[in-house]
Amino acid sequence: MVKSSRDWIVQVKRLTTQLFQCLSKTVGACENFCLNHAIYFENLSSPRNGERSLRDIEITFTELDSLRNELEYLVESCSEFAQEASFHYRLIVPLVIKVILVQSY
């Protein structure tokens, strides 16, 4: 049970890390755009039907940055849980083996 829980946590950490890295690149590209290139789009006419304004896009990227921060916390939490599970697994397995050996005599 402990080993399967640890394996699951490690898999979640791996997938979360990949998502975090991808989202970090997206947020970084947006920050670069907003700082260096958004000024060229500020004086354009209002967006047409279904199009988003520059402000709407900035809000979306702010939300993505917040999600990136949450993912970063999740990656750190998964690392801590995986280490804890490994520690408990190393403690439990020898005890179980001893109990089995004692019961077999």
Per-residue pLDDT of the chain (105 residues; tens, 9 = 90+): 656 777 888 888 899 999 999 999 999 998 998 888 877 777 766 667 666 777 888 898 899 999 999 999 998 888 888 777 776 667 676 666 666 767 766
Name every residue whose Cβ is closer than 8 Å to that of residue 65 and which is 6 or more positions away in sequence.
27, 30
Range(s) of the domain holding residue 42: 2-104
pLDDT at res. 78: 84
Number of separate domains in the chain: 1
Q: What's this model's pTM, rounded to 2 decimal places?
A: 0.66
- Distance CA(102)–CA(105), nearest Å, equals 6
pLDDT at res. 89: 64
pLDDT at res. 88: 64
